[in-house]
Structure 1
Amino acid sequence: MQRHAGEDDLAPAALRTAALARTPAADDPPEPACAISTRGLVKSYPGPDGTTTHAVSGLDLDVRRGETFAFLGPNGAGKSTTISLLCALARPTSGRATVAGADVLTQPHLVRRRVGMLFQHSAVDPDLTAEQNLHIHARLYGLPRRDARRRTAEVLETAGLTDRRRSPVRTLSGGMRRRLEIARQLLHAPGVLFLDEPTTGLDPHARAEVWEHLRALRERHGSTLFVTTHYLEEAENCDRLAIIDRGRLVAQGTPLALKAAIGDDRVVLRTDDDDAAKEVVRRLAPPDRTVGVDADGISLRLPGGSAWIPRLCAALEALGIAVNSASATPPTLDDVFFHHTGRSIGAAQPGRAAAAATRTGGGR
């Protein structure tokens, strides 16, 4: 085919960039054991009053290849900004980061070639069929027509949507649409798949469907999944997680290890007279424990909480204070978030803090 002068300048920028994704260059550096690695990553914005806002502040992070990693934090914590930096869609103020073996500062084109990005909001055309949406996206990535048809069929099968391939997207359920959007990001076989709040707005059943699909995706293809979320139960599905708050990384590890680091059970008692019962519990509990009263009742943290319940109930009933219920629960990820930030993740959501009750009894 004859190539005319200036043709590259006339081609859409998205098509030129996507065409790079078709075949890795011979001099591409190999992908390391860590799919994502950052050191001292910072993204700052100047404020109108001359101050500086740090959306991301000194982020040090390592995500292994083939891992499902969660970035847990409330809205506005810096999760989406971090994703933009790691996908080379925004330039860091300082620090460094490599993604799939490519440097986000010096090799942004290679980063974009090797990653997939699922945004919070839907980007598929509701009036086109599932198959048409994928085929158009594959062509924008520069795949020849035959390869685009083949990859479209493959990712439709991976998403479990082959039987709905000719259905308009507007007729699909919320969970199906999200699986279609994930499938679209797999067309160029990315090494790392970023999913920014992948189940926001979905009902519990649809959310469960999406996570079942993500687990199958990793098992079949060994994909590295980097998920941002403020849903605690979703973070439980991940191999490891990092908690980010106000742009800073405050804790990271496996869900089990992070909960085990807190150690103590949360004991909650509901009585006929919580104010009087609180003083009794305070005298019986170790002196370094905080005893609080909230909507749940009297609460405190104790090692081996179940063993404490009979003793506390007997002491209260001996003083004529009836105990209506008693429970001991191991630490949750919300407890972990509270332990490191001083508030629950629900209360940390912008616009909800004022409505959230102050939590007490969360630590020593």
Structure 2
Amino acid sequence: MAHTHSDDHSGHDHGAGQVHGSTDKKRVLIAACLTGGFMVAEALGGLLTGSLALLADAGHMLADAIALGLAWYAFHLAGRPATGRLTYGFGRVKTLVAYTNGIAIFVIALWIVYEAWGRLLAPTPVLGGPMLVVAVLGLLVNIGSFFVLHGGDRESLNMRGAMLHVLGDLLGSAAAIVAALVILATGWTPIDPILSVLVSLLILSTAWSLMRAAAHVLLEGVPPSLDRDLIARDIEATVLGVREVHHMHVWSLDGTSNMATLHACLTEGVDAYQAVSTIKKRLASEHGISHATVEPEFGQCADDGDDHDHDHEHDAAAHHDHHHQA
């Protein structure tokens, strides 16, 4: 029996994504400029006052200005069309940047913990007054950046990474304000490194969740909102003429655009084109899968010898026949 193959390249719904992308790109650029501009002032303030909390926050802001710049560039690249070599375009650059941002936050937080330990062992004098002024100004700048980003796309890993950086800065500024007030009131300088460590630990947990989400996309795992086996059962139950669905892979290109490949075993006499068309419409309307490659089969599977159950994690090769990773 002839074996037809259908690959839908027209199923992408880019409209909403492009609107989100352009506004998110502007938001990230504004936040990068605000963060980078104030970082210099905060670093000078930290050196002049002797405050690790300010220096830690300036360190966060330096990394964040770079990270926000990378996030902006990722949005810029994502807007480029696909090429013969990068058939899915540059969409996954945003996920790579999100993952890199998570690693950067880890490194900064560990450096702050190391510095804080040294400060606790050998306390240094801190000028509480000037420290308070710089910390308050820093908080205002960070609140501004956070609200600029907060209106963006919450589903975008790149935006989540950018917001995480600014949230870290915001917490850092708040901690510096508290430390300055305690130092002014009591003269107890160890509060400075102690609060720096607390902020770092808070940021580490959030960074870990961001890295896990980005790594899941890079490893082409099934999106958290979808269940591959339930989708396969749904197609078998609702699409006329489909006896079985197997070799099914579901993944996301960038954390928002979902894709799938599958083999649909059809009953004899069924119109293959009609069946494939119905499957794709079902995937798009009911499961949010905008791009699907469906291989219709009659009788034996073309990949003969393979097991026909729904648990085909071993069959990565079949997936990569269809999918050239960006």
Same fold (TM over 0.5): no
Kindly indicate whether structure 1 or structure 2 has the higher relative contact order, using CA contacts under 8 Å at least 6 residues apart.
2
The structure in which a higher percent of residues are helix is 2
Name the TM-score class by shorter chain.
under 0.3
- After TM superposition, the score normalised by the length of structure 2 is 0.28
